[in-house]
Structure 1
Amino acid sequence: MPRIGMLTPSSNTVLEPVTYRLLSGVEDVSVHFSRLPVTAISLSDKENSQFSLERMSAAAELLRDAAVDVVVWNGTAGSWLGFDYDRQVSAAISAACGVPATTSTLALLDAFRAFGVTRLGLVTPYTGDVTAKIAETYAAEGIEVVNDERLDITDNFSFGSVPEQRLASMIEAAAVDVHAVSLVCTNLRGAFVAADLEAKVGVPVLDSVSATLWKALDVLGAGVPIDRGSVLLSGSTRAALKRICASLREATGADRTTMRLDLPSQRLGVDLAAAEDTGPGVRAIQHDPGLDQRKLNTVQWLEEHRRTLVQPHFRADPQPPQALIETYGVQAQMLAPVEVDGAMAGWLSVHSLAERDWRPTDIEAIETASAEVRDLLTS
């Protein structure tokens, strides 16, 4: 049975019971906890010293005796201390336990990348200076905090007493004109509120406790879909598709690659791309739901022919949607269908902002990527 080890702030009363609830019905995974003293959150040296590598390593060593298979720091201090700090924490606790490691902050960063988030609504219990530091940390990774809803509390224990209804109103306020909302704190009772609100607010709501559990399961290779919010339901699939898109763009030298997929079990539909990778300065298309994708000429051609569509220019049929040319500047593309059980479950797209003659190696690359997606969906 895979065992997850989690380091927990001593005054945290939320993440343990919530983690167990999220895993309800998931067999053959157990979670084990070790605590380290954390009582208040601010930017002072005294409070930041609570998160020293020495303290982290000492707490992690206690989990080594439980023979855990992965260890995580289930706290969000790296969001203001910096991603490099959390990478150091991850390395230290990995060395202490002799197993792979990650942290809540690194898990959230991986989730932002998997979901293509560059515009974020932030919900925290912290004070203004802490949230400003979080925004600065995220901005260095290309993630703009567009909306900031906070409670201005410093006592860590008190975070766990914030009513779910209050968190719900903060999520709704933060969900305006963003790609996702994130609850950054592992002592907020937001996991189930986040999951319930996603349909209403229309964007993923990424809770820290849920994201940490998702990443721990993903590291274990046990990332089975859990229907308790987007990150647990489709995070591993999206992350894998993102890697395929990135490799495909690198192999072809294209400006953009996308994966569109109908996967109802994970609430993925082709009208929003499940994954995307773009070159520097290239406009993202992932969050644009403006077209009925299945009715496009190019997609109907794919459905009929079930082979790669290679378009070095758009002077011949099938014509792409005009918005692809006028809004996103695409001048050439390749599309490859992904078939599962005889149905076209989706397709990969490779875009160029200039007309180009696609090489045989480019066609081979997209067809190899299509096979990788098919294998991912049928494994």
Structure 2
Amino acid sequence: MNETISDLQLILEDLLQLTDASRTTLRIDIPEQNSNIDAPLIEVLAPGIRSIKSLAKLEQRKLPTVMFMEENRCNLIQEDCANSDVSPPKDLIQVYGVKAQMLGPLVWDHKLVGFISVHYTPSTRHWSQNEITALDDVKERVMTRLKQAQWVR
């Protein structure tokens, strides 16, 4: 496995643990690595959680959640996905059982190049300030690693 991918995997594993999440993903546009925002480059799952890689057929940039991050360049924190002002994809809720999520945009050169997601399936939940800070720290770690690998320029 590529060293950069391995490092990113470890960073996302840390985030899964720090937030007691069900799933963490990294989606990012890096054409040289055959990676685009529509499919997770990295996905880390808690035991018993289904992969969402089959959701790769969705055009992420057309989803309300991603459009929110594109417009606002800030985290989208959703404590109850089914009753949110910014609607997540229906399959995420109905098929994959996500009840709460945090999405963190990755911005490079003033453009949204990707995002990190933190999914929780057991119930709706309040995301603590420590968990939101963990997401922010991981966004920074991911971008630092991508710059080191010269995957973002």
Note whether the superposition's TM-score is higher than 0.5.
yes
User: In structure 1, which of residues 231, 244, 255 is the aligned counterpart of residue 11 of structure 2?
Assistant: 244
2:111 paired residue number: 343
- One-letter amino acid of the structure 2 residue matched with residue 306 of structure 1: R
Residues 276 and 323 of structure 1: is their aligned pair in 2 closer, same or farther, counting only changes over 3 Å? same
Instruction: Determine whether 1:374 maps to 2:143.
Output: yes
- One-letter amino acid of the structure 2 residue matched with residue 271 of structure 1: D
4+ aligned runs moved over 3 Å, structure 1 = none
User: In structure 2, which of residues 82, 90, 105 is the aligned counterpart of residue 322 of structure 1?
Assistant: 90
Percent of paired sites with the same residue: 38
> d(CA) in 2 for partners of 1:267 and 1:237?
14
**What whole-Å deviation, never above 9, does each CA across 1:150-189 have from its counterpart, x for those lacking one?**
xxxxxxxxxxxxxxxxxxxxxxxxxxxxxxxxxxxxxxxx
- One-letter amino acid of the structure 1 residue matched with residue 94 of structure 2: E
User: In structure 1, which of residues 315, 332, 357 is the aligned counterpart of residue 126 of structure 2?
Assistant: 357
- One-letter amino acid of the structure 2 residue matched with residue 332 of structure 1: A
Structure 1 residue 287 displacement after superposition: 4.7
Instruction: Determine whether 1:294 maps to 2:57.
Output: no
Structure 1 residue 378 displacement after superposition: 1.6
Between the two structures, name the one with larger relative contact order (CA 8 Å, sep ≥ 6).
2
> d(CA) in 2 for partners of 1:240 and 1:299?
25
For normalisation by structure 2, the TM-score amounts to: 0.91
Structure 1 residue 237 displacement after superposition: 2.9
Structure 1 residue 288 displacement after superposition: 3.7
> Are the aligned partners of 1:274 and 1:286 in contact in 2 as well (CA < 8 Å)?
no
Give the match's secondary structure for 2:25. strand
For normalisation by structure 1, the TM-score amounts to: 0.38
Structure 1 residue 266 displacement after superposition: 1.3
Unaligned runs of at least 5 residues, structure 2 = 149-153
Give the match's secondary structure for 2:61. helix
Instruction: Determine whether 1:272 maps to 2:39.
Output: yes
CA RMSD after TM alignment: 1.1
Count residues in correspondence: 146
**What whole-Å deviation, never above 9, does each CA across 1:1-36 have from its counterpart, x for those lacking one?**
xxxxxxxxxxxxxxxxxxxxxxxxxxxxxxxxxxxx
For the pair shown, the structure with the greater C-alpha radius of gyration is 1
